[in-house]
Structure 1
Amino acid sequence: MQLSDHLALENIAVDLPFVSKHKLLRQLADMSSLKSGIDAGIIAKALLARENLGSTGIGRGIAIPHALIEGLPKSLALVARLARPIDFEAVDDIPVDIVVLLLSPASGQGQNLNILSCIARQLRDDHTVGAIRAARSAEEVFVLLTRS
């Protein structure tokens, strides 16, 4: 499974302005709604419910918020590199500046786990993460995340 199967270049935002975790999740829900046709309120509610179970901040300034969404036809990934890190209540307490959002159909929990694993694999490499932080464009981030 390749991340490029679920991530399109136009779903990458570089240097999003500073916001809170809550506002960021709502902003990502709005962006996802435009791409998926699913109501932003439904997406935001699912993301916030998942965050209430425990932060999706995995450490090293990275968060992977994710949710299963009823009616979503196929998985959708969005990437946001923030202009300034925000408190995401991450496991290591390091503020987050790289966010990879994953939405998957409610019926596709196995696929959701496979895609999450693919994302985590790409982001465990310190060189890749550093290059994402240094990237000047969405195109550069896309290449870094989708290369094999």
Structure 2
Amino acid sequence: MADRNIFYCTPSDEDRFCMVSERCVVLDLQASMTLPEFLDLAIERLAPVTDIPPGRLVAAFHSREAESSTVVKAGIAIPHIIVNGLSRASMLLARCRGGVIFPGENEPVHAILMLVEGLDHRFFHLQALAALSRSAHDPHFMEKWLSAGSVEELRDQLLETHRSRCTLHRSACV
């Protein structure tokens, strides 16, 4: 019997997630910071990729976080928004060794997997969130994330976790 928690999709969906992951922005930060400080840094790099004004992105992420925390487990958050006017998904991965302090959370967040998608692509947004969540819940994710030697290794870790999950469950992907 198939695992009900796995979403089965077409190879093109997997390819889309991999393409978004391969072209995502990756930050490797050392200092501890608040969520607003992190968002300012992240949006500075993400806005040019999305062609969405920085102020609009910052406001959308703050609004989303105010609705409910995007921290999915200790040390890992998946902030995500859907915005009108965006034609393709964009992602930002960030390792923050000093930790980002999310409001209402007891522990700092060291792995942030951000996703921005357009209104016309809500289904892919959900698929990508599921893929990011599966990666974040891999028992070795945080250890590998913190020990990665470069931004390329951070990106590769996300892709490796995703692809091994797809291989393990045949066509289980995004």
- CA-CA distance at 1:69 after TM superposition: 1.3
Is 1:82 aligned with 2:129? no
Counterpart of 2:44 in structure 1 is: 30
> Residues 9-88 of structure 1: matches in 2 within 5 Å?
11-88=25-102
Is 1:5 aligned with 2:37? no
Aligned-partner Cα distance in 1 for 2:83–2:108: 27
Counterpart of 1:108 in structure 2 is: 121
SS in 1 for 2:52: coil
- TM-score, normalization: structure 2? 0.77
Counterpart of 1:127 in structure 2 is: 140
Deviates more, 1:19-28 or 1:136-145: 19-28
Q: 1:62-110: per-residue Cα shift (whole Å, max 9, x none)?
A: 011110111111011110000301221466x321011011000022222
> Residues 86-97 of structure 1: matches in 2 within 5 Å?
86-89=100-103, 93-97=106-110
Aligned-partner Cα distance in 2 for 1:102–1:12: 12
Name the structure with the higher helix share. 2
- CA-CA distance at 1:139 after TM superposition: 1.1
Conserved? CA contact 1:12–1:142, under 8 Å = yes
Counterpart of 2:112 in structure 1 is: 99
- CA-CA distance at 1:10 after TM superposition: 5.8
Q: Which has the larger radius of gyration?
A: 2
- TM-score, normalization: structure 1? 0.90
Counterpart of 2:151 in structure 1 is: 138
